[in-house]
């Protein structure tokens, strides 16, 4: 009875004598990929969506106008940290940065939620594929000759994601307070609800869902626990965050759209395009 490995048919190569696994060179495929589907469509749509938000948010952040229509304040401009903010009665206005040299006060606060989103694991995947083609899609080679990952500047700054998460929490809390102030009318009387109130309610729910579905949040709650049985409350919370985390991509896009719509709704009211419809 023959022992050892057998040569491959038509060759004298016995393969791997240790386990009988035949070794062979990689296939010489000149094409960059063999996919015949529209693999470019998903990264193209992602790039278009992110680019549209970048253009819109940049315009609104530098506009420095039409961001308050009683009782609503744009989420791009809250909390107000400069003296040149439009006043909002009862709102979180902390004039601690002077007039900020005449620049838009949105530039003082947007760095925190934008930093949180830019370093988010999903958004990294989105713009790595959509803008940098690194890689553009699964099983499609990227055009870059070298790859250093997130080990060098500027991508090493992605490691600040957890700290931006800590900063995003109070911002979400302030936007929750702004939403509560939306249950007033234009004369600041409580017990009223307009269409804008619903817009802000949907927005804040999506913002909290996206924030709490963050991978850093999931790790902070239960990532370092060795024995879940000794921490039943944290284990239950970890499970809830895990279910949100499964929908992190959907929540990332939903909250991105909702925060832009909330800002645009305030803009339309502030410019007099229409009056806020009152539900009661």
In tens, the pLDDT along 201-250 reads 999 999 999 999 999 998 888 887 888 888 899 889 889 999 999 999 99
pLDDT value at position 144?
82
What is the residue range of 80's domain? 41-141+156-270
Beta strand 68-69 with 72-73: parallel, antiparallel or unpaired? antiparallel
Helical axes 161-181 vs 195-212, angle rounded to 10°: 160
Determine, yes or no, domain membership for 5: no
137 DSSP β-pair partners: 140
Nearest to 244, CA basis, from 122, 153, 144: 122
Contact 90, 200 (CB under 8 A): no
Nearest to 204, CA basis, from 71, 91, 75: 75
What value, to the nearest 5°, has the Cα angle with vertex 18 and ends 17 and 20?
A: 65
CA-CA distance, 228 to 20, in Å (whole number)? Answer: 43
Q: Which residue do the tokens 């530039």 mark? A: 107
Nearest to 179, CA basis, from 67, 260, 74: 74
CA-CA distance, 78 to 81, in Å (whole number)? Answer: 8
Determine, yes or no, domain membership for 75: yes
Determine, yes or no, domain membership for 29: no
| pLDDT tens digits in sequence order for the chain, 280 residues long | 444 444 444 444 444 444 555 556 666 767 778 888 999 999 999 999 999 999 999 999 999 889 999 899 999 998 877 666 766 655 566 666 656 556 777 887 888 999 999 999 999 999 999 998 888 888 888 888 887 788 888 888 898 999 999 999 999 999 999 999 999 988 888 889 999 999 999 999 999 999 999 999 988 888 878 888 888 998 898 899 999 999 999 999 999 999 999 999 999 999 999 999 988 8
**Domains held by the chain: number:** 1
Contact 89, 178 (CB under 8 A): no
Q: At 186, list the tokens.
A: 């234009």
Cβ-proximal residues to 142 (8 Å cutoff; 6+ apart), any chain: 133, 134, 135, 136
DSSP state of 195: H
Determine, yes or no, domain membership for 1: no
Determine, yes or no, domain membership for 165: yes
CA-CA distance, 278 to 235, in Å (whole number)? Answer: 43
pLDDT value at position 14?
47
What value, to the nearest 5°, has the Cα angle with vertex 29 and ends 28 and 35?
A: 155
State the DSSP H helix or E strand holding residue 68, giving kind and residue range, or none if neither.
strand 68-69
DSSP state of 136: S
Nearest to 269, CA basis, from 71, 78, 56: 71
Q: At 214, list the tokens.
A: 């963050």
Contact 161, 119 (CB under 8 A): yes
Determine, yes or no, domain membership for 149: no
Left, alpha or beta for 56 (phi > 0: left; psi -120 to 50: alpha)? alpha
Whole-model pTM: value is: 0.82
Determine, yes or no, domain membership for 22: no
pLDDT value at position 174?
92
Determine, yes or no, domain membership for 14: no
């Amino acid at each position: 009875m023959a022992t050892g490995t057998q040569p491959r048919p038509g060759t004298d190569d016995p393969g791997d004598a240790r386990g009988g696994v035949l070794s062979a060179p990689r296939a010489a495929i000149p094409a960059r990929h063999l996919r015949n589907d529209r693999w470019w469509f998903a990264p193209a749509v992602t790039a278009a969506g992110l680019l549209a938000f970048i253009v819109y948010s940049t315009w609104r952040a530098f506009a420095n106008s039409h961001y308050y229509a009683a009782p609503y304040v744009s989420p791009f401009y809250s909390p107000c940290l400069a003296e040149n903010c439009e006043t909002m009665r009862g709102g979180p206005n902390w004039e601690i940065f002077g007039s900020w040299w005449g620049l838009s006060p949105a530039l003082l606060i947007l760095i925190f939620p934008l930093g949180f989103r830019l370093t988010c694991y999903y958004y990294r995947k989105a713009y790595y594929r959509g803008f940098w083609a690194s890689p553009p899609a699964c099983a499609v080679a990227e055009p870059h000759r070298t790859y250093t990952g997130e080990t060098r500047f500027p991508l090493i700054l992605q490691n600040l994601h957890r700290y931006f998460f800590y900063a995003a929490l109070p911002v979400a809390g302030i936007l929750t307070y702004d939403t509560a102030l939306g249950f007033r009318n234009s004369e600041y009387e409580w017990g009223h609800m307009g269409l804008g109130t619903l817009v802000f309610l949907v927005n804040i729910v999506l913002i909290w869902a996206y924030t709490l579905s963050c991978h850093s949040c999931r790790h902070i709650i239960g990532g370092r626990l060795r024995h879940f049985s000794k921490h039943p409350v944290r284990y239950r919370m970890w499970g809830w965050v895990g279910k949100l985390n499964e929908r992190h991509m959907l929540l990332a896009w939903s909250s991105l759209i909702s925060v832009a719509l909330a800002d645009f709704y305030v803009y339309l009211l502030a410019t007099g395009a229409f009056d806020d419809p009152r539900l009661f």
